[in-house]
Structure 1
Amino acid sequence: MAINLRPTIAEVRLSAVRKNLQKLKKTAAPARVLFVVKANAYGHGAAALARLAEREGLAWGFGVSSVEEGLALRAGGIISPVLVLGSLYPFESFVEAINADLMVTIASLDAARQVIEAARRLGKKAVCHIKLETGMGRIGARKPSVLKIYDELSASGAVAVAGMYTHFSSADTDPRYTAQQLGFFSETAAALRERGAKNLTLHAANSAAAVTVPESRLDMVRCGIAAYGLADGFEPALALKTRVVFIKNVREGAFISYNKSFCADRPLKIATLPVGYADGYLRRFSNRADVLIGGLRCRVLGNVTMDMTMVDVTAVKDAAVGSEAVLLGRQGREEVTAQELAALADTITYEVVTLISGRVPRVYLE
């Protein structure tokens, strides 16, 4: 069992995840919810949250990016459906996926032929969802290729086509483009029905579309960011916390951190925190972000370093070694949000939480 002595942790409130999934499930009904837990559940811990959702019936199944992520869920005891959303390569990945009862994404004729070969080699039927490209420009086949893929898979007898899906590019910013993508999807779904396709699970909506575009919910919605509380109207689940490990007083003119990146303009009290960019606390937060100590906002001073960050605690009367520091989350009446940190780093909330590294223990609170 790993020993964790360093006080830097990511706290995940299971009650918030539960509440968010319940809200998504109610909003999407009768469509099912595929809980997207790729990238270690956006940094929140995939195995623990998948077990919560499976145990309490909060999701129909789970979406992952890779076969490895799916295998990790199976190793963690998850028995619900798991859909690998990424394009599989090398094609030997299909063998591992089929063995573990993972549903795979098929986005090309080559992939269709490889999954057929893998299923026949194993003597076990594969289950897949076909990915339609409607405007994301990432992976997926256009309508003519989708029809050919469906025909080849259906004729093989070795692969069950369980669904078809697409991915919205701009569901939170461009309703017209989203409607256009949904129109392309509906046309292809109709063409598949004309070919005799029955009981396909059709899905297109991500969190934004599931909440704001009712017509996109179809048979299933794929929700990630809202489940973690990082979309409007949902409750954030994750907090990044540590404790002060060193306190010092500096004179006017003293330099702080690498490259003399901060110079004190008056006498200051400085706290050192055992967290840095190796933990996912971005260097872009240098001299810009606030940390909560003693219920007050304390500015980061100088460059964030690999393992440590310095902050100004001059105004915190009782600041001492051992004082709690909240880098993301709430303390007293103050809160540092993922949205705030994302704006400082000119990025998105997804990146803020998924970059919290594996050396930061996840602690789960009810």
Structure 2
Amino acid sequence: MSPPARHPDAERVTADVFQQRPTRIRVDLDALAHNLKTLRAHAGVPVMAVVKANAYGHGLVPVGRHLQAVGVEQLGVAFLEEGVALRQAGVTVPILVMGGIFGPQASELIQHDLMITVSSLDKLRLVEAAAEALGRRAQVHLKIDTGMERIGVHARNAGPFIEAAVASAWCDIRGIYSHLARADEPDSPATAQQLERFLDACAHFERLGAPMPQRHLANSGGLLWFPRTHLDLVRPGIALYGVMPDPALPSPLPLRPALSLRSQVVYFKVVPKGHPVSYGGTWTPDVDTRVITVPIGYGDGWPRALSSRGEVLVRGHRRPIVGRICMDQFMADIGPDGSAWNEDEVILIGEQDGHAIRCEDVAAAAGTIPYEILVNLNLRIPREYTGGV
């Protein structure tokens, strides 16, 4: 039996309904452009903007397109599919896929003109075989492990690896890089140690009489606090979006948060003294109070860990989240004398009437890091974009 025919307006109707959802993410593209310019000026070298994990929750394709339009030199992603999505969206700047690769991915990476992270001799041979089979040269970055213990050849063993890459008949070395493990700790000596190991590995190019490829080491923390790590290229991730890697550290640069998260009141009630709120009855008011319901929950990526710990802004006042956060909703206490109406704006991340809740504040309340707050905001939440070229 044939499936029922899809109504020609069904996709439009679905999109319209989706856009009616009161909970939404707003991304300020002008803030992104400002942050890119600020970070580039601070580093004094070109920028590879990291847009993995849906551009840290901001939207992979819109952010990638915008960064290209404002002149970013390169983009960095984690996985093949992210690079392919950008290429299919018309993004043409160089894109490095930074994650580990396997099997047939090598051919796909080459065919989509994506730069490949080669992290071992075995991976080098895999990429060479794929390139030869396609009759097309592969563009690669060599990954050196200087202390992360994730992927990459240990710096102390880098000589034979680099020599083999230089001699490769099918690979063009576009870069060599490593990743800093503790750059969000400005007082840690680990970053200086990693830098020295990396530079020792890079010196093999000079010993071989080969041209030095683009060296890159600095993530957001390295860019902000360790100028010696800037080298030939920097790779800002979270700082590009105006958020600090560590909530406890103030930004040394005038960066602007690009993302705000807002919703609206969908219900208002008076909760009598002694009546528990939400699952498990973990919060009970000690006086008659007024409670609002907000239509976003852990099903959208809003952390359940914020239950009775987080805050929101309503009419310019900070109001505590009370009771357990549900899959699709949560409640906030606006107090015995508080006022709110259905459809009033509720700010979860962002500004309202001169007050602000930062992503870093949310992370601290949830006992996690800002990265996790951003990337967990899933596609159930509509995104809208302001500014841009």
- Over residues 228-272 of structure 1, what are the superposed CA-to-partner deviations in whole Å (9 max), with x where a residue is unaligned? 001213211111100111111121111210011211211111111
- C-alpha distance in structure 1 between counterparts of 2:301 and 2:338, whole Å: 29
2:35 to 4, 10, 20: 20
Q: 2:54 aligns with which of 40, 50, 64?
A: 40
Per-residue Cα deviation, 1:309-357 (whole angstroms, up to 9, x for no partner): 0111236754111000001111112211111111111111111111111
**C-alpha separation in 1, matches of 2:39 and 2:99:** 23
Matches within 5 A, 1:55-74: 55-57=69-71, 59-74=72-87
Please provide the CA RMSD for this pair: 1.4
Paired residue secondary structure (2:240): coil
Aligned length: 363
- 1:322 alignment counterpart: 343
The alignment partner of 1:131 has SS state of strand
- Other-structure match for 1:115: 127
2:317 corresponds to: 296
Q: Distance in 1 between matches of 2:312 and 2:209?
A: 59
Report the residue type matching 1:302 in the other structure. G
Corresponding residue number in structure 2 for 1:126: 138
> For 1:5-41, what per-residue CA distance to the aligned partner results, in whole angstroms no more than 9, with x for missing partners?
2211011111211111110111122x21000000011
Instruction: Provide the residue aligned with 1:176 in structure 2.
Output: 189
Mean Cα deviation higher: 240-249 or 167-176:
167-176
Structure 2: distance between partners of 1:51 and 1:297 = 36
- Aligned position for 2:233: 220
The answer for the alignment partner of 1:195 in structure 2 is 208
- Letter of the structure 2 residue corresponding to residue 361 of structure 1: P
Q: Aligned match of 2:288 in 259, 263, 267?
A: 267
Identity within the alignment, %? 38
Q: 1:229 aligns with which of 214, 230, 242?
A: 242
The structural deviation recorded for 1:207 is 1.4
The AA in structure 2 aligned to 1:349 is P
Q: What runs of 5+ residues in structure 2 fail to find an aligned partner?
A: 1-11, 245-250
1:294 and 1:316 in contact (8 A); partners too: no
Distance 2:125 2:158 in 1: 13
* 1:346 and 2:367 aligned: yes
CA contact (8 A) 2:206 2:212 kept: no
Distance 2:109 2:336 in 1: 56
Aligned residues of 2:162 and 2:204 also touching (Cα < 8 A): no
Secondary structure of the residue aligned to 1:239 is: strand
C-alpha separation in 2, matches of 1:225 and 1:316: 39
Say if 2:205 and 2:212, in contact at 8 Å, map to a contact too: no
> What is the distance in 2 between the residues matched to 1:182 and 1:315?
57
**TM-score normalised by length of structure 1:** 0.96
**Structure 2 CA distance for aligned equivalents of residues 80 and 145 of structure 1:** 32
Shifted more, 204-213 versus 289-298: the winner is: 204-213
Please report the TM-score for the alignment, with normalisation by the length of structure 2: 0.90
Using the alignment, how far apart are the partners of 1:8 and 1:316 within structure 2? 26
Q: 1:214 to 1:27 in 2, by over 3 A?
A: same
Gaps of 5+ in 1: none
Is 1:155 paired with 2:167? yes
Distance between the aligned counterparts of 2:285 and 2:223, measured in 1?
Answer: 49
253-262 or 95-104, which moves further after superposition? 253-262
CA shift for structure 1 position 102: 0.3
State the distance in 2 between where 1:199 and 1:81 align. 18
**Partner residue in 2 for 1:332:** 353
Matched residues in 2 for 1:332 and 1:136: separation?
43
